[in-house]
Amino acid sequence: MVMVKKSITVTDQQANWIRSQINKGHYGNESEVVRELIRERQLREQEAAYGVEAIKARLIEAEQSGFTDQTAKEIYREIKNELGREAISTK
């Protein structure tokens, strides 16, 4: 894999956190910290995309079989679980 050198700017607080991660032995250098954070974000975005596709598939399936109040509630619960948002409330 080809590496590309980048220059980034972080706050003092962020710099201190990065240094603490290295001092704790979690990473060997600053670049490793940043690359790991990028990989984690990429994974979250990929998982979110898969979740959206699963929700779309479920909605299509429900639409084809005919919506009922129970189906709507099930879909809502699935979406809530998929998004992992406890803040969503039903009325």
Say how many residues make up the chain.
Answer: 91
Separation of alpha carbons 41 and 68, rounded Å: 37
What is residue 91's predicted lDDT score, i.e. its pLDDT? 44
Contact between 22 and 28 under an 8 Å Cβ cutoff? The reply is yes
pLDDT, tens digit, 9 for 90 and up, residues 17-40: 999 999 999 999 999 999 999 999
52-56, 60-64, 85-89, range with the lowest pLDDT: 85-89
What is residue 90's predicted lDDT score, i.e. its pLDDT? 46
pLDDT, tens digit, 9 for 90 and up, residues 54-63: 878 877 877 7
Separation of alpha carbons 79 and 24, rounded Å: 38
Separation of alpha carbons 79 and 28, rounded Å: 39
